[in-house]
Every structure is written in structure tokens, then in C-alpha cells.
């Protein structure tokens, strides 16, 4: 589902919307959507405990960081290049999980990590030969890995709560961060634009983001970081179908290494379930 991010961003940009308007209104609508879901299921919106406020505020700041960097990355370089560089975040996640959450890095994960690193090195070396604008987009894509890794690690700290709890409070804080930028840079001029932002919010905040936090309740952060590499494959397919962005051979080779690492982790997860 996250593989469609570039498609949504380019479409909304194409109808005259800027990053501040898109994300502030998307999160604002997302709060209403999550509240409606909780009301319909009878689940209460609990107040966070004292230490949880910090975690939720941090995730809100991470949302701001990743949406800002990916917005410029998708608009300045290809979707496949953006996704492949963005996926340095499993590397940061795995080492962060080992250092901060004391999660063990078994041989299967280390092999998957090594393959991912090799694939990303191939992609990044290729990006150094691009135009200045595309190089800036590649840098933004690489930078976007930091808040995603942080969000994955922090999300594990809130695993006792429902996915909707984490989503609801974190997007409230994301709204607060975006609010001053929206006030000074609002680009919404029609109800049609609002309608498209609503559909985007329904897709990503109503469905995709809760699935992400639901998954973090049942698997380790390091495993989650690599499993989400499947997004790369779907994003490349989206770029080919909608924008005729055919990745170069070296990019495909890097993507193949990443795909193999994803399969290794999937097999490891299946073995754990079987045991």
C-alpha cells in the first residue's frame, strides 16, 4: 500500500497543492476517520500515560520529517530511485533495535542486512551521476530513512496499545507541527482538491498506517524494517505503469538483492511461527 505514495504525491502536486496543505489537511481528516472507526468499534480513545506523551510526540515529528523529505524526493527524482534509497531505513532500524531495544541480530537477519546494503550501494552510486535536481531528490530520499527508522523503534515502545491509539495521537501531534506552515502557505482553492486529499487520508491513515502499527505489536522492529522492503517492488511497478520510469539495469540488480533479503526474513518469520 505504501508503494502508491509516489503516485498520490505527484497527483496532488499536479493539481496545485503544496506539501503543507496536503499533509496538514490529510492528518486533520485522518483524526476524524480514526475517531469514526473507534466510535464504530466501541474502542475508547485512552489518554496516554506520562512517558507515552513523549513517544507519541516523537512519532508526530517523525511523520513531519518523512512526509517532507519524501514529498521533494518523489517530485525531483524517479519513484524507483526514491524508494530504493528510502530503504536504507531497515539498516538503521536493525542497528537501532540492537542498540536501544536489545533485540538479537541472528545470522539470517545479518545476511538479509548485508544483501540490502549491497543493493542500496549499487542504487546510490548510480544516483551520483544524475542532474543536480535529481541528486537533491535522491538525497531527500536517503534522508527520509531516519524518521522512519525512529518511528519503527518508538512504535515498539507502544505495542501494548491498539494500532488506532498510536495512529490517533501521533497524527494529532503531526497536525500541530504542520499547522503554522499550513497557515502561512495554504494552497487549497477548491472543494475538489479537498476531496482528493480526503481519499488520500482514507487510504493511508484510515487503512495503511493502522496496519503498520498493528504489525509492530506482533513482530520485532528489526523484522518489520526488512519486511517492509516489499514496498520497493510495488513502487517500482507503479512507476513503470503510470510514468514509464524504467529502472536501469544496475538499479534492478540492487532491487533484486533487496528482494532476496526480504524473502529471507519472510522465511525466518514462517519458521518461528511453525516452531
Q: Which long-range contacts (CB under 8 A, 24 or more apart) does 180-184 make?
A: 181/20, 181/24, 182/20, 182/21, 182/24, 182/25
HSE-up of 194 (CA within 13 Å, CB side)?
A: 7
User: What pLDDT is recorded for position 198?
Assistant: 93
Q: For 188-220, write each residue's pLDDT tens digit.
A: 999 999 999 999 998 988 888 788 778 877 777
Question: C-alpha angle with apex 233: 111 to 171, nearest 5 degrees?
Answer: 95
CA distance 149 to 143: 11
If one compares 225 and 97, the residue with the highest pLDDT of the two is: 97
User: What pLDDT is recorded for position 72?
Assistant: 94
pLDDT mean over 42-70: 91
CA distances from 251 to 65, 175, 236, 241 (A): 26, 36, 10, 17
- Nearest to residue 29, comparing CAs of 214, 163, 203, 212? 203
pLDDT mean over 9-36: 93
Computed on alpha carbons and rounded to an integer, the radius of gyration of the chain in Å comes to: 18
CA distance 271 to 275: 6
Q: For 83-109, write each residue's pLDDT tens digit.
A: 888 877 777 777 777 777 677 777 877
CA distance 200 to 220: 28
CA distance 58 to 60: 5
Assessment of whether the complete model's pTM goes beyond 0.85: no
Amino acid at each position: 500500500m505504501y508503494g502508491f505514495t509516489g503516485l498520490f504525491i505527484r497527483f496532488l502536486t499536479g493539481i496545485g497543492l503544496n506539501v503543507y496543505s496536503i499533509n496538514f489537511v490529510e492528518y486533520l481528516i485522518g483524526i476524524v476517520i480514526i475517531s469514526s472507526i473507534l466510535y464504530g468499534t466501541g474502542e475508547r480513545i485512552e489518554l496516554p500515560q506520562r512517558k507515552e506523551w513523549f513517544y507519541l510526540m516523537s512519532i508526530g515529528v517523525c511523520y513531519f520529517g518523512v512526509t517532507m523529505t519524501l514529498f521533494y524526493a518523489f517530485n525531483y527524482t524517479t519513484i524507483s530511485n526514491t524508494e530504493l534509497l528510502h530503504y536504507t531505513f531497515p539498516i538503521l532500524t536493525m542497528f537501532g533495535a540492537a542498540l536501544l531495544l536489545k533485540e538479537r541480530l541472528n545470522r539470517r537477519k545479518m545476511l538479509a542486512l548485508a544483501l540490502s546494503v549491497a543493493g542500496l550501494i549499487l542504487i546510490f552510486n548510480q544516483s551520483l551521476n544524475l542532474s543536480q535536481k535529481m541528486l537533491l531528490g535522491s538525497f531527500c530520499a536517503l534522508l527520509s530513512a531516519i524518521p522512519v527508522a525512529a518511528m519503527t523503534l518508538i512504535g515498539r515502545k507502544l505495542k501494548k496499545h491498539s494500532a488506532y491509539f498510536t495512529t490517533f495521537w501521533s497524527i494529532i501531534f503531526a497536525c500541530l507541527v504542520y499547522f503554522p506552515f499550513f497557515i502561512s502557505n495554504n494552497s487549497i482553492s477548491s472543494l475538489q482538491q479537498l476531496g482528493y486529499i480526503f481519499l488520500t487520508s482514507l487510504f493511508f491513515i484510515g487503512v495503511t498506517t493502522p496496519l503498520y502499527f498493528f504489525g509492530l505489536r506482533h513482530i520485532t522492529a528489526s523484522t518489520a524494517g526488512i519486511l517492509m522492503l516489499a514496498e520497493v517492488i510495488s513502487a517500482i511497478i507503479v512507476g513503470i505503469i503510470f510514468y514509464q520510469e524504467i529502472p536501469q539495469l544496475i538499479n534492478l540488480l540492487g532491487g533484486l538483492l533487496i528482494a532476496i533479503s526480504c524473502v529471507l526474513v519472510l522465511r525466518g518469520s514462517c519458521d518461528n511461527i511453525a516452531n
